[in-house]
Chain A
C-alpha cells in the first residue's frame, strides 16, 4: 500500500505547526495537552466536519473522517482474553480450565504489520471456536452447582423454564455480545434453549450458541447513527465504543464498570468518557498492551534462534550461547522493554528518547557480559552504556543468530520501521542470477565491501541506496550486538583468519536528497531523531495498531493528530498512546462499500 504520509506530509507539518487551527472542531490542535475529548462527544459540534468553506485539513480528502473499517474477528490473544474475562465475569472460572485446553488449536494471527489486522478466517478458527464453545457449554452443565452458578437456581429444574432461560439468555448474551441482546437475538437463543428436553441441556445450548455467534467472535460495530449528511460515517454507539476502548487498552472485552457506563449512557458524555479512559489507561493491562504494540512494531517476535554451527560457537565463545541462547535473546528483548517502559510510563519520554538514550536499563548479567559492562543493580540512575544510543543500537534489533551481520536487514529495519518509508520490491526480470543469495565470505573484504559489491549493479542500486548505508553505519556492532572497530573473518572451523577494519562513514539519506556523510551509528541515530520522521512513523504505526486497519486517504488528519500528541508542549509517548482514544475518528466508523 502506498504510504499516505508521503502524500500529506507537508500539510501535516503545517498542521502540526498550528497553521490550521479551528477551535472546537476535530483535528484541531491547541498546542497544549488537553484531556477533553476531541470532537465534542455529546456536544453540539459536528466532529471532524469543517465549518468553513472548502477542505481544510487534508489535501487528499475533503474532510477529516475515517476510512472504511473492514470486519475483523477477535485476534487469538483477544479471543483468549475475552473468553477468560467473560467466564470470570459470570463466576464460571472453573470452565476456563476446560476451555484453555481447547484454545491450543487457535491459529496464530498473521499479518505483516500487526496481528490486530489479520483478516483471515480459516477452518482451524471455526474448529477451535466449536471446541471451546463445547467445552464451556459442557462445563456449565457438568453438575448442578455449575449450572446454578451461571444460570441461577431456576436452571437446575428437570425441564427448562421459559422465564429462567430468558433471563439466562439476556445475562449471558449481554456479556458475550458486549452489549444488550436484541429482541430477535433473545427469541432466537431462547428458542434454542426451549427446544432441549432438559434444563441442563438448555443451559448448555445457550452457552454454546452464544459463544459461536458472530457478535462474540467478531468486532461487528454495526450499531450507531450516521453522522448528519454523511452516508458512510457512523458515530459508534456506547457499547461499540466501550469495546473499542477496552480492546485498545486491554486487548479484551469491557469490564463491568465500562459495560455499565455504556448501558447507562454515561460513556457518551465527555466527563463519563474521560473517566473511563482514565480508568482503563491507568490499569496495568494498558502497559501490557502498549508493550504488545511496541513489540510488534519493532518486530521482536519470531526470532528463529541461534546457530548450532562451529563458527558461531567460536564467535560467541565465553558467552554460553549454546546453553543459554534463549535466555540471551530474552534478555535482549527485556532490555528494549525496559527502555520502552521507562520512556512511556516512568518519564514523559518521547520517541527521540527511545532512539537516543545511552543508558543501560538492563539488569541482566548475561547481557552486561555481552555488552562488556558492569551489570546494573537496578537502583538509582541507570549507568551510561558506551557507544550506544537507543533502540537501533541495542542487541535485540541487531542480533542475527549466527556470526554474520545483516546490514541489509538492519538498514531495512530503520528505513521501514523507524522512518516508515516503503522499500519497493525488485523487478524480477532485472535481477541478475543469484541476487538473493548472500555474498560469499572473503578474507580480504569486510561485510560492507562484500555487500556493496553484491549490489553495485544498476538493477540493485535503485532500491539499495535506501538502506545499504544505514546498515553500514551499524556495522560497528557485530552479529550479537557487540560494539567493534574490527571485523573478524572465520574459517570453517571457527578459526579467525583475518581481522579487517570497520569503515564507519556513510551517507544514509535519512531525508531524501540529503547526501551528508555521517560517521558511526550514533550519528545515524542523531540524524533519525533530528529528522523528526520517527514521530511521523510512530503515528502511522500506532494508528494501525489502535484503529485495527491500514490508514486510508481520509485518515491524514488523525495521523497528524497522533503525531502532534508527541510534539505538543508536554507531549509524550504516554500522552500519545492515551490520546488516540480522544480522536474523533476513534469514535466513528467508516462504513465499507456494500
Chain B
C-alpha cells in the first residue's frame, strides 16, 4: 500500500469531506516515532473478586519492635466511633495484623515499613514464601478506599464504577478505565502497537476494562475479554503459522475495502447511527492496518499454538477443574509472550472463574453476583468457618497459581540489567475490601514501572486513629485515601501528565463519590487531594 493512499485515508478520517463528523482524532494517526527501550513501560492488571480478609493479605508479625494492632490499640476507643457499629470485641482495630508506626510523610497519619521486615516465614498468609524473592520489586498497599455503594462493579479497580449492580453507581457516567487511557495515549505508545491491549478472563466475557476507543469524552463501552486461550493467542500472534517475529506471508491490501466503506457511508438511506457504525468500523480498520505486518522484538518467542478451550460453566467435576487450570496456564504464557514480544504493553486478567482447595479437593468457583451458591455466595456467608476457609483457599490459589506465575515468567532479563518485570507494573487489585465493603481494598504492585515507583514497601494509608465505622473479622471500615489516587499514580508512572487524562474539569481521574446514601455508615468524603499521587509511592 502506498504511503499516499494512507495519507489520503487519514485525511478522510480526520473529517475531510464533511461526513465524518464526530469521528475521533486517533492517537494512532500521530506520526510514529521510535521509543527508546528504556522508556518502554507495561501495565498488567489482575483482578480478583468478593471479600478480601485483611488478615490474609497483610503481615501479622510481631517482634523486632513491631506489635499487632490487637496490642497497639488496647483500650483505644475514639468517642466518635460509630455508635452501634458491629464489632466483635471492644477493640475493633484488633484485626491480627502488624501495626506500622513509621510515617510516610511527617504530620500525616499514613505509615509504612520495609516489606523485608516481614520476609520470614512469609509476608502474609496470602503472600507466601514464593513471593519473598520479589520483595525488592514489590509494594503492598493498604487503606485504599473505593466510593461506597459501588459493590460488584467490573471496572472499578481501573476507574469505572458505573455498571455495578449498585443502583447509585449505575447512575454514574461511565469512564474509560486507565488501561484504555494508556492504550490510546501517544505517550505510552509512541508508535502504534500490534495490539493496544489484551484482555483475558476465563469465564467472564465482560472484562474489567472500559474503552472510549481512542475518543476521550466519547461513548464508553465495556471491552469484551477473551475466554478461550486460543482466541487470546490469535489476538497476540494472529492466525498465520509464521516463524517468530512477524508474519511471513504477503499482507493484503485494504485500499479497496476502505473505498467500499467510504462509498457506503455516503449512502442516503443510512441513518445517522448507521453512518457512525460504519465510520467506527473504518476507525478500527485503520487501527488494524497500523499494526499488522510489523516486525517485532528479536527476542520474541511465540509459544505453541494452543487448542481451543471453549468456556464451560463451573460444576461437573474434574474436567472442569482441568480446563480452568489449563486455560490459566495458557493465558499466562500468552500474556508473558505478548509482553516479551512487545506485541502489547497492556494486559488485563480477570480472575472470576478460579479454583480452590476444599475438603473435597480442587474445585472450581465462579464469581457470579446473581448466584448465591458461588464464590460470591461464600463471601456472603462471612464469618462461618467453611466460608472463611473457602475464601482463603480461593485467594491462595490465585496468589500461587496465577499472580506468582505471571511474576516469575516476567522476571527475565531485558536490557540494562533489568528484567521485563522491572519495566512493568503488575497490579493485583480487587473488587472489594473486607465483607463486601469498599473500604480498605487491598492492592499489590510489583515491578516498579521502570524504576518510577519505590518498591519493597508496605504502605498503609489508613488513619487508624480516626473513626471506625465498623469492623468485622479481618477488616475495619476506617477512612484511608481514595483508590483513584492509585490510578492517577499509575498513569503518571506510565508517563502521562494530568493534562493527558483529566477530562471533567476536576483534578484526578475516575468517580470519587456516589450518591452518598451510605454516609454515616461508611466513609464517604474523598474530595480532598483528588488529583494527587499516593504519598510514598514515587521515587
Co-assembled chains A and B: yes
Residue numbers of A with Cβ under 8 A of B are: 68, 70-71, 73, 98, 101-102, 104-105, 107-108, 110, 119-127, 130-131, 133-135, 137-138, 184-185, 188-189, 191-192, 195, 201, 204-205, 208-209, 212-215, 217-218, 220, 222, 234, 303-310, 312, 321-327, 329, 400-404, 409, 425-429, 431, 433, 436-438, 492-493, 591-594
Count of CB-CB pairs between chains A and B under 8 Å: 237
Q: Whole-angstrom distance between the alpha carbons of A458 and B166 in the complex?
A: 19
Known: A71-B277, A234-B269. A123 touches B371 (CB 8 A): no
Question: By the criterion CB–CB under 8 Å, are B274 and A308 in contact?
Answer: no
Report the stretch among B43-51, B307-315, B396-404 that lies at the interface: B307-315
Question: By the criterion CB–CB under 8 Å, are B230 and A325 in contact?
Answer: no
Known: A104-B308, A137-B252, A401-B374. A124 touches B224 (CB 8 A): yes
Question: By the criterion CB–CB under 8 Å, are B234 and A105 in contact?
Answer: yes
Q: Whole-angstrom distance between the alpha carbons of A396 and B220 in the complex?
A: 35
Known: A104-B231, A220-B264, A433-B517. A306 touches B378 (CB 8 A): no
Please give, as numbers and ranges, the residues of chain B lying within 8 Å of A431 by CB-CB distance: 167, 517
Q: Which residue of B lies closest to A426 (CB)?
A: B167
Please give, as numbers and ranges, the residues of chain B lying within 8 Å of A218 by CB-CB distance: 278
Q: Whole-angstrom distance between the alpha carbons of A189 and B387 in the complex?
A: 63
Which of the listed residues A108, A305, A403 has the most CB atoms from chain B within 10 Å of its own CB?
A: A305
Proximity bits, B288-327, A CB within 8 Å = 1, else 0: 1000100000000000000010001111110010000000
Question: By the criterion CB–CB under 8 Å, are B281 and A213 in contact?
Answer: no
Question: By the criterion CB–CB under 8 Å, are B271 and A102 in contact?
Answer: no
Question: By the criterion CB–CB under 8 Å, are B274 and A592 in contact?
Answer: yes
Q: Whole-angstrom distance between the alpha carbons of A400 and B376 in the complex?
A: 14
Q: Whole-angstrom distance between the alpha carbons of A208 and B257 in the complex?
A: 9
9 closest Cβ contacts across the A-B interface?
A: A402-B373, A592-B271, A307-B373, A325-B315, A428-B167, A305-B313, A71-B274, A305-B314, A326-B316
Question: By the criterion CB–CB under 8 Å, are B373 and A108 in contact?
Answer: no
Please give, as numbers and ranges, the residues of chain B lying within 8 Å of A191 by CB-CB distance: 256
Please give, as numbers and ranges, the residues of chain B lying within 8 Å of A594 by CB-CB distance: 268, 270-272
Known: A185-B260, A308-B364. A123 touches B213 (CB 8 A): yes
Question: By the criterion CB–CB under 8 Å, are A214 and B260 in contact?
Answer: yes
Is B518 part of the contact surface with A, judged by Cβ < 8 Å?
A: yes
Report the stretch among B121-129, B235-243, B458-466 that lies at the interface: B235-243
Known: A134-B240, A492-B384. A303 touches B253 (CB 8 A): no
A-B contact pairs, 8 of them (CB 8 A): A107-B205, A192-B256, A212-B257, A305-B313, A326-B316, A402-B377, A433-B517, A594-B268
Question: By the criterion CB–CB under 8 Å, are A184 and B263 in contact?
Answer: yes
Q: Whole-angstrom distance between the alpha carbons of A305 and B354 in the complex?
A: 13
**Which residue of B228, B288, B370 contacts A130 across the interface (Cβ within 8 Å)?**
B288
Is B273 part of the contact surface with A, judged by Cβ < 8 Å?
A: yes
Q: Whole-angstrom distance between the alpha carbons of A107 and B379 in the complex?
A: 31
Please give, as numbers and ranges, the residues of chain A lying within 8 Å of B151 by CB-CB distance: 436
Q: Whole-angstrom distance between the alpha carbons of A120 and B230 in the complex?
A: 23
Please give, as numbers and ranges, the residues of chain B lying within 8 Å of A306 by CB-CB distance: 314-315, 373
Q: Whole-angstrom distance between the alpha carbons of A50 and B304 in the complex?
A: 66
- Within the complex, the shortest CB–CB distance from B430 to chain A, in Å, comes to 19
Q: Whole-angstrom distance between the alpha carbons of A324 and B250 in the complex?
A: 49
- Within the complex, the shortest CB–CB distance from B45 to chain A, in Å, comes to 18
Please give, as numbers and ranges, the residues of chain B lying within 8 Å of A121 by CB-CB distance: 277, 280-281, 284
Please give, as numbers and ranges, the residues of chain B lying within 8 Å of A133 by CB-CB distance: 252
| 8 A Cβ contacts from B366-421 to A | 366, 368, 370-374, 377-378, 380-381, 384-387, 390
Is B133 part of the contact surface with A, judged by Cβ < 8 Å?
A: no
Q: Which residue of B lies closest to A326 (CB)?
A: B316
Question: By the criterion CB–CB under 8 Å, are A433 and B518 in contact?
Answer: yes
- Within the complex, the shortest CB–CB distance from A150 to chain B, in Å, comes to 16
Q: Whole-angstrom distance between the alpha carbons of A307 and B365 in the complex?
A: 8
Question: By the criterion CB–CB under 8 Å, are A222 and B287 in contact?
Answer: no
Question: By the criterion CB–CB under 8 Å, are A308 and B314 in contact?
Answer: yes
Known: A105-B231, A402-B372. A209 touches B314 (CB 8 A): no
With A127-B288, A137-B252, A307-B374 given, name 11 new contacts (CB 8 A): A70-B273, A122-B224, A123-B213, A135-B239, A222-B267, A222-B269, A308-B360, A402-B372, A403-B373, A429-B515, A438-B372
Is B254 part of the contact surface with A, judged by Cβ < 8 Å?
A: yes
- Within the complex, the shortest CB–CB distance from A402 to chain B, in Å, comes to 2
- Within the complex, the shortest CB–CB distance from B114 to chain A, in Å, comes to 39
- Within the complex, the shortest CB–CB distance from A569 to chain B, in Å, comes to 40
- Within the complex, the shortest CB–CB distance from A391 to chain B, in Å, comes to 20
Is B454 part of the contact surface with A, judged by Cβ < 8 Å?
A: no
**Which residue of B260, B284, B312, B359 contacts A126 across the interface (Cβ within 8 Å)?**
B284
Q: Which residue of A lies closest to B284 (CB)?
A: A126
Q: Whole-angstrom distance between the alpha carbons of A130 and B264 in the complex?
A: 19
Please give, as numbers and ranges, the residues of chain A lying within 8 Å of B105 by CB-CB distance: none
Proximity bits, B205-249, A CB within 8 Å = 1, else 0: 100000001000000010110101011001100111000000001
**Which residue of A188, A214, A404, A433 contacts B278 across the interface (Cβ within 8 Å)?**
A214
